[in-house]
């Protein structure tokens, strides 16, 4: 499954800066359809599907926001309370290797 990103400067792109390409949202429908068809017959699918679909279908601009919301959805359902820290706030220096 993929989420299309805007194309500018992708070689030097940091995850926190990755913007979702909003010109064509067919990928959302395609990804949800794949998830549905692969998991709809599993035991607990219907306990989570509507809420998952709602989280997935939100209007995200940044890939990071989408990823974090989906992770938080799964963490909540699994009863996990991780200490998530974004590298952008850890005061770490370095350069991305291309």
First to last CA, the chain: 24
In tens, the pLDDT along 50-92 reads 999 999 999 999 999 999 999 999 999 999 999 988 877 777 7
> Residue 53 belongs to what domain range?
10-89
- Reported as a single tens digit per residue, the pLDDT across 29-60 is 999 999 999 999 999 999 999 999 999 999 99
Q: Is residue 5 part of a domain?
A: no
pLDDT more than 70, % of the chain? 90
Residue 72 lies in a domain: yes
Quote the number of domains for the chain: 1
Q: Is residue 36 part of a domain?
A: yes
Q: Examine residue 75 and state whether it is found in any structural domain, yes or no.
A: yes
3-state secondary structure of 62: strand
CA distance 82 to 8: 33
Checking if the pLDDT of 23 tops 90, the result is no
- The reply to whether 96 falls in a domain is no
Written as six digits, the tokens of 2 are 């993929």
- 2 inside domain: no
């Amino acid at each position: 499954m993929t989420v299309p990103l805007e194309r500018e400067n992708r070689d030097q792109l940091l995850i926190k800066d990755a913007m979702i390409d909003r010109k064509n949202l067919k990928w959302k429908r395609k990804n949800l359809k794949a998830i549905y068809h692969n998991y709809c017959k599993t035991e607990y699918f219907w306990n989570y599907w509507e809420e998952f679909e709602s989280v997935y279908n939100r209007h995200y601009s940044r890939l990071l926001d989408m990823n974090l919301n989906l992770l938080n959805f799964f963490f909540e359902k699994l009863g996990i309370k991780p200490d998530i820290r974004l590298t952008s706030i850890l005061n770490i220096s370095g350069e991305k290797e291309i």
